[in-house]
Structure 1
Amino acid sequence: MTRPAYPNLAWSGGEPGAVRVLGINPWITDFAAFNLWSRPVGLLACLSMVRDAGASIALMDCLDPTWEGVRWPRPGRYGTGHYPKQELEPPKALAFTGRRYSRYGLDRDMVREALAQLDPAPDAVMVSSVMTYWYPGAINALDLARELWPDAVRILGGPYATLCADHAQRHARPDLLVRGSLETPENWAQLWAALGRIAPPLPERAGLNLALDLYNDPGYAPVLGSRGCPFSCDYCASRALYPGFTQSGPGPILALMEAEQARGVRDFAFYDDALLVAPDRWLWPVLDAVSDRWPQVRLHTPNAMHVRRLTPDACGRLKRGGLTTVRLGLETTDFDLRHDVKLTRREWEDGARNLVDAGFDLADIGVYILFGLPGQDLARVEEAVRHVRGFGFRPHLAHYTPIPGSPMFEAARQASPYPIAEEPLFQNNSIWPCVPGGFDWDQAARWKALLQGLPAPGHGTAAD
């Protein structure tokens, strides 16, 4: 068999005659994209699931930098960085922006050539879809699969397929659309029926095991200790994607980390939505083990941690366990007007102080502040930015994405001048879909200066 051009592309698992399932993590199509320890965790969980049930699996990750001979932009800290990109004509719906629109990831022709060498051919192609407005990349991957393997079953899953199911069925035209988690009995049975097989028993830890071994030279790795979230934030669709909240025990997570660490991985990113909920169940034992066994490991929390749970003990454990990149969810400093009860002013100030007292570097602490909510007073956002800078932390604007299935989506639909319910491209947070007037370069420059504490363009200082 000819060695594929993409070093990760090879069949794994399964006895002779087993069904072969290829997973494709498609390109990002957007105005901007940045690799913040990105891995298609949902797709990797599905691939692990079907392999544990007897299938043979393979992966094509169009966002993976390990392709030999591909020039990748200069890496950032701890494995993060920019993607290579190819500028495209923007979709007609977004042409009004006048901004550059690109396909991020590996060259499409190279991807096609590598996939064409995959031997034997797949029986099924499973395509993920993360952001709803990235769906052009998913459609492109499905079209490529249709071209190369007309008889293969084309499967589309993920947030786009779940939250915009009617749109996905019309435009992507998959053979099977998976709404929600693959491990639900209905979805599991439908998958195997589409493959012409009787559904085997659902494997243990379905949805929590990740097929990380499909990456030959991983560089970094995700850690998934739980699925779902016990909270119900108005702007989030977590409950629509996964209505429950399931946590792992520490053993399987440590086994995964040990295997990845033995392959040279030093940077691990937590993908949990609620990392600090019930930490005794798995997080504290994992951190204790990391501290004892692998002091060289660095841990990162690209998803915001809940500040109210940052007690002195918790911060000490996180620091000793190797947490390096800290991201907090402040959201707003309108504590008296918050629509949730997750955080009070006292809890925020105590949590921030506890992090500093535990010895975390201020440069490694970032704080997410929501920007662009329906009807939001942006003057309050400025106050929050200055408040965060006053602590010495780095403020980051979390640009609001109107997500179908979230409690706030109807308010967003009424506030936005775009048909966000009919066309997912208008859900792109880069166009500021719920900010009056939409995206504006002058305002973007002003906000950038404010975040950095620099003089605002055309003004005195950012604090004036």
Structure 2
Amino acid sequence: MIRPDFPHIPWHDRDHPSSRRAPRILGINPWITDFAAFNVWSRPVGLLACLDMLRGAGASVALMDCLDPTWNDVKWPKPGKYGTGHYPKETLATPAPLAFMDRRFSCYGLPREMVREALTALEPKPDAVMVSTIMTYWYPGALDILDIVAELWPDVPRFLGGTYATLCGEHARTHANAHLTQGPLEWPDNWTAFWKTIGFDTPPLPENAGLSLATDLYEQPAYSVILGSRGCPFSCEYCASHALYPAFNQGMSSDILNGIQSEYDRGVRNFAFYDDALLIKPDRWLWPVLDAIVDRSLDLRLHTPNAMHVRHLTQTVCHRLKDAGLHTVRLGLETTDFDNRNDVKLTREQWEAGANNLLEAGFDLDDIGVYILFGLPGQDLDNVEQAVDHVRAFGFRPHLAHYTPIPGSPMFDAACAASPYPLADEPLYQNNSIWPCVPGGFSWDEAKRWKCLLQGKR
């Protein structure tokens, strides 16, 4: 049962002159369906950007986040560090394509019946429902929520957007009972099509569309997110960033700072950067924002779960980050086989200089983690072991970044050739938990061995 003081999902408006009734748009972030899941400052940034721009265009908006830990009637696991933590989960039957896996498959997030009851209590009903998809292989949760919405409001248009809808369009068109929004909503064709479908005149696109987030829709947030840019100027072979968002756009420092200050004023102290290229052109927005945090004496903690590019970590950069309150440092090393790298993002000298600059700036070793790619098509896993040892020699914590074959990435064809699974036909096989491109696939014995290596045990 929903707690008595939470009978409905609230609608949020923004002052906007109009002679017509404002459309009501409900955004839903579905459950995670997977073998494992952990909350690392998770927020559906794409959906929050959509809701913000729709509200800016005159709509009333509401959010149902099935991963929101502020629902008091749910017993959530003990919170982790800085607002991270585990999700409540319910064991599910393993999907037929993944039946070979010797791992428990679960639904992570709020109980299904609680979500259904909250949606049932929503008054008045929405004029449209937008459902997000963050990972391609999490689509079962999105399809489930779409079925609930179709049952509750059969005449209300449903829109499915995000990674699965954009990168697995053919599969989504076959299985999802919804209109597909492929690519950002602010693209002119998507923006016009959305308003036409719901039967309202198309309003002008608000300023800063796509870079402003409706983070205020969370009532009692333990953390918030910062989005200073969309897209990435790099073209890594394993990444589909360009397929999702081809451009690289940066926001205005004043808008970003206003968002941080607003969240801070209502008690938020942990902020996670969601930028793919945080340290690129920092004069545009990052330095003014960090300087203002220092000038205003904001007692907050900053985190970089998406990893920073080590080559940009000069002494000055490290000290500015430290002074502004950066706590959780994640670095993208990927591999220490510098002589055979297929990109020019990082040299051995740049890696060692950046690592030493972090230490000199006074960062806590416990808060520095380094991502090392694991499970690439044809990857020599001996090189991964060497990278783990190399990172531990600096005193940092190595983390294996398990490779996810992503449609639209330059490496996807190679992944399809290397994997025994039909990656292009069934997104469930793109799940990095099954080690889709590692010969022999996932193994508990190998997983335990790698865990020991990461801890320095041999």
TM-score range for the pair, normalised by the shorter chain length: over 0.9
Q: Distance in 1 between matches of 2:399 and 2:102?
A: 25
Q: Equivalences for 1:63-142 in 2 at 5 Å?
A: 63-142=67-146
Q: Distance in 1 between matches of 2:320 and 2:276?
A: 19
- The root-mean-square deviation of aligned C-alpha atoms, in Å, is 1.3
Q: Distance in 1 between matches of 2:296 and 2:140?
A: 43
1:370 aligns with 2:367: no
Q: Distance in 2 between matches of 1:367 and 1:241?
A: 25
Q: Which runs of 5+ in 2 are unaligned?
A: none
> Which residue number in structure 2 is paired with residue 48 of structure 1?
52
> Which residue number in structure 1 is paired with residue 388 of structure 2?
385
Percent identity of equivalent pairs: 69
Asked if the contact 2:8–2:122 (Cα under 8 Å) also holds between the matched residues in 1, the reply is no
Q: Distance in 2 between matches of 1:303 and 1:292?
A: 26
Shift of 1:295: 3.9
Q: Distance in 1 between matches of 2:429 and 2:181?
A: 23
Partner SS state of residue 35, structure 1: coil
1:393-427 per-residue CA deviation (whole Å, 9 max, x = no partner) reads 00000000000000000000000000000000000
Q: Which runs of 5+ in 1 are unaligned?
A: 455-461
Asked if the contact 1:385–1:450 (Cα under 8 Å) also holds between the matched residues in 2, the reply is yes
Q: Equivalences for 1:306-385 in 2 at 5 Å?
A: 306-385=309-388
1:30 aligns with 2:18: no
Q: Distance in 2 between matches of 1:7 and 1:307?
A: 48
Aligned length: 453
Partner SS state of residue 142, structure 1: helix
> Which residue number in structure 2 is paired with residue 20 of structure 1?
24
AA in 2 matched with 1:180: G
1:416 aligns with 2:419: yes
Asked if the contact 1:276–1:305 (Cα under 8 Å) also holds between the matched residues in 2, the reply is yes
Shift of 1:6: 4.5
> Which residue number in structure 1 is paired with residue 184 of structure 2?
181
> Which residue number in structure 2 is paired with residue 265 of structure 1?
268
Asked if the contact 2:8–2:123 (Cα under 8 Å) also holds between the matched residues in 1, the reply is no
Shift of 1:5: 6.2
Asked if the contact 1:123–1:151 (Cα under 8 Å) also holds between the matched residues in 2, the reply is no
Partner SS state of residue 100, structure 2: helix
1:158 aligns with 2:169: no
Q: Distance in 2 between matches of 1:4 and 1:22?
A: 22
1:168-222 per-residue CA deviation (whole Å, 9 max, x = no partner) reads 1101121x20001110000001100111122111110000111111111011000
AA in 2 matched with 1:97: M
Shift of 1:293: 1.6
AA in 2 matched with 1:446: R
1:104-123 per-residue CA deviation (whole Å, 9 max, x = no partner) reads 00000001011100000011
Partner SS state of residue 330, structure 2: strand
TM-score by length of 1: 0.96
Q: Equivalences for 1:384-403 in 2 at 5 Å?
A: 384-403=387-406
> Which residue number in structure 1 is paired with residue 249 of structure 2?
246
Asked if the contact 1:8–1:214 (Cα under 8 Å) also holds between the matched residues in 2, the reply is no
Partner SS state of residue 328, structure 2: strand
Partner SS state of residue 233, structure 2: coil
Partner SS state of residue 207, structure 1: coil
Q: Distance in 2 between matches of 1:92 and 1:446?
A: 28
Shift of 1:69: 1.8
Q: 1:60 aligns with which of 61, 64, 73?
A: 64
Q: Distance in 2 between matches of 1:263 and 1:328?
A: 30
Shift of 1:8: 7.9
> Which residue number in structure 1 is paired with residue 173 of structure 2?
169
> Which residue number in structure 1 is paired with residue 283 of structure 2?
280
Asked if the contact 1:8–1:216 (Cα under 8 Å) also holds between the matched residues in 2, the reply is no
AA in 1 matched with 2:72: E
Q: Distance in 2 between matches of 1:294 and 1:135?
A: 42
Shift of 1:342: 0.2
Q: Distance in 2 between matches of 1:394 and 1:447?
A: 13
Shift of 1:76: 0.3
Runs of at least 4 residues of structure 1 off by over 4 A?
2-8
Asked if the contact 2:7–2:118 (Cα under 8 Å) also holds between the matched residues in 1, the reply is no
Shift of 1:384: 0.1
> Which residue number in structure 2 is paired with residue 459 of structure 1?
none
